[in-house]
Amino acid sequence: MWSLPYFQNIIRDSWQLDELHRKIIRIQLIIRIITGGVIILSIIRYSLRKILDEWILLEIIWTLAPGLVLVWLGIPRLNLLYQQERLYRQPESIIKVIGHQWYWEYNLPEIEISIESITTKERNLFPLADTNERLILPFKKNLLFLVTSADVIHRFALPSLGLKADANPGRLNSVSSFRKTPGWLIGQCRELCGSLHSNISIRFEFTSPILFVEWVKTSQD
């Protein structure tokens, strides 16, 4: 199920985070194999241990190599952090997300729209994933989500947008995102928030700016 597009990291920043994570894991695996092999060989063969103790060049290499690896991994990470920070500074739309027991409330203050999204029990491909009201947003827009809670601690999570933020009462957390393609996404609360925790689902739909304007007019009528 997790291979379906509704759960995949299909936005650029989220995909880059996953790729960086895979790169770190691969490098870590190579380092573990090399160091583990050298340790095992030095235990088995005492003569090899004497050679390693006296090999100055090897000491220089394994002193410099970790620093070079950190620089190699740090440059793309800093670039990714800069790209994410740019979304915070230049949001084109702001969505306030409020967690309740057990539903989500979405407020779009710029167009004065408020939606209470309650999970329905319709039988479909994803049980408890459909809601009576879904939030519709335009794609190709810098979006800023302000996340809070009206009662207990929740966690707003949309894996395919690379979003996860704690919803704490009396506190406002922010996450940003940019999606390039239309489609609908599903998410869930990732914090145990009571007996009906499994019923607090998220469903977004991204559409063109023209269809978004039509939805706004319909919602305001």
Q: What is the reported pLDDT for 8?
A: 47
pLDDT over 70 (residue 194): yes
Task: Tell me the per-residue pLDDT of 11-34, one tens digit each, with 9 for 90 and over.
Answer: 555 666 777 778 888 888 888 888
For 76-113, b where at least 16 C-beta lie within 10 A, e where not — what string?
eeeebeeebeebeeebebbbbbbbbbbbbbbbbeeeeb
DSSP code at position 134: -
For 21-49, b where at least 16 C-beta lie within 10 A, e where not — what string?
eeeeeeeeeeeeeeeeeeeeebeeeeeee
Q: In the numeric block, which tokens belong to residue 156?
A: 């707003």
Task: Tell me the per-residue pLDDT of 143-154, one tens digit each, with 9 for 90 and over.
Answer: 889 999 988 899
pTM, rounded to two decimals? 0.66
Find which of 3-7, 88-92, 163-167, 196-200 is predicted with most confidence, using mean pLDDT.
Answer: 163-167
What is the average pLDDT value for the chain, to the nearest integer? 78
